[in-house]
Amino acid sequence: MTTTTFSLDPMTRCADRPHSEQPAPYATGYHAPVLYKEVVDGLVTDLAGTYVDGTLGGGGHAAALLDVLRENGRVVGIDQDPEALATAEARLAGAAEAGRFRTLRGNFGDLERLLAEAGIDQVDGLLLDLGVSSHQIDEAGRGFAYAASGPLDMRMDTDAPLTAADLVNRAEPEDLIHIFRAYGEEPRAPKIVRALIEARPIETTGKLADVIRAATYHREELKTLARVFQALRIAVNDELGVLERALIAGLRVLRPGGRMAVIAYHSLEDRRAKQFLRYGNFAGEPMRDFYGNLLTPWTLLTRKPITASDAEVEANPRARSARLRIAEKRNPEESGLGSSFSYPSS
């Protein structure tokens, strides 16, 4: 696989790691990992280190990491979806048996607690490949997709209390308008919400899609469906809130010199990753010392996000919107923040 957009300085890569020459060596029917080679190249600094895949999914990135790490290198995979965990556990059973791989069920927003409970206090790398897996989208029963009708669910954690149907049928109109505007950047939110309220109860993705179609100009239909479904998914799973908590927790658990890699699929996530990995905050406000030097806990390794090559997008259209950003945690003494700097708590 070739990438024209990969912009990591070669000196920042960990040398001598093999990569398969096949076009999509880690893809399965469950999911095809996006930018796997760029993730591995950018994340791994110690072949005997401990790496956390905070979004394990079907285990594609985890498998790629395990393949390049030495026998004493470890991967810890986190997911809140029991089906994803079971899939990855079956796939990586050999590595688990060899003590190189283990899973933790939970929300990556609780990363620090999950790792502490597993007896892990510092790690060498953290990957967040955000959003949903292809399997979650393809399974109509999970209620993420408008293409096939299923129950209006959208929970990544199937034990979580709030479903998309709860929101659509019970939320106040102004709250729904806020959700569609803030998380879907939907310009016609009030019109769509009026149509939803009239059509209540809405229990399936099919009915929701029909109501949205009827309230939308034909040429805007697909974009509107995508925006509204995205907005509901973000709200149901509090995706932006947990991302902020995970980024802060990641900074705390990484050893100095360790790295964080974030793959975002829409601008709301990507903006948070970009600001945090550049400045150490979400406001996008640089902190500077008396001389104007930037004070940040990170060295950003990707000035521009890494995107998928044409070949990868052709093989896996989901890769089209992926934006990968990678940063290395600086030593508090070198970062200008001083050894007494306390990282924000998640």
Ligand X SMILES: C[S@@+](CC[C@H](N)C(=O)[O-])C[C@H]1O[C@@H](n2cnc3c(N)ncnc32)[C@H](O)[C@@H]1O
Going by C-beta distance under 8 Å and a sequence separation of 6 or more, which residues neighbour residue 214?
A: 195
Going by C-beta distance under 8 Å and a sequence separation of 6 or more, which residues neighbour residue 82?
A: 105, 158
Taking CB under 6 A as the rule, does residue 42 contact ligand X? no
Size of interface with ligand X, in residues (CB under 6 A): 22
Comparison of 103 and 302: residue with beta carbon closer to ligand X: 103
Comparison of 79 and 112: residue with beta carbon closer to ligand X: 79
Q: Which positions from 235 through 274 interact with ligand X, judged by CB under 6 A?
A: 242
Among 109, 184, 280, 297, binds ligand X (CB under 6 A): 109
Taking CB under 6 A as the rule, does residue 103 contact ligand X? no
Taking CB under 6 A as the rule, does residue 81 contact ligand X? yes
d(CA 285, CA 235): 26
Smallest gap from residue 328 Cβ to ligand X (A): 21
65 is written with which tokens? 């990491």
Comparison of 59 and 337: residue with beta carbon closer to ligand X: 59
Taking CB under 6 A as the rule, does residue 156 contact ligand X? yes
Contact 105, 79 (CB under 8 A): yes
**DSSP assigned state of 156:** S
Smallest gap from residue 206 Cβ to ligand X (A): 23
Comparison of 31 and 188: residue with beta carbon closer to ligand X: 31
Contact 115, 123 (CB under 8 A): yes
Smallest gap from residue 346 Cβ to ligand X (A): 12
* Amino acid identity for residue 51 in this structure: Y
| 191 CA to centre of own chain | 31
Among all residues, whose Cβ is closest to ligand X?
57
Bond preceding residue 201 cis, omega within 30 of 0 = yes
Comparison of 129 and 312: residue with beta carbon closer to ligand X: 129
CA torsion sign for 116, 118, 119, 125 is: negative
Taking CB under 6 A as the rule, does residue 108 contact ligand X? yes
- 103: exposed, middle or buried (C-beta count within 10 Å: 0-12, 13-18, 19+)? buried
Task: Report the first-to-last Cα separation within the chain, whole angstroms.
Answer: 38
The one segment of 107-115, 168-176, 181-189, 207-215 that binds ligand X by CB under 6 A? 107-115
Among 1, 42, 44, 57, binds ligand X (CB under 6 A): 57
Please give the residue ranges that form the binding site for ligand X (CB under 6 A): 31, 33, 55, 57-61, 78-81, 84, 107-109, 129, 131-133, 156, 242
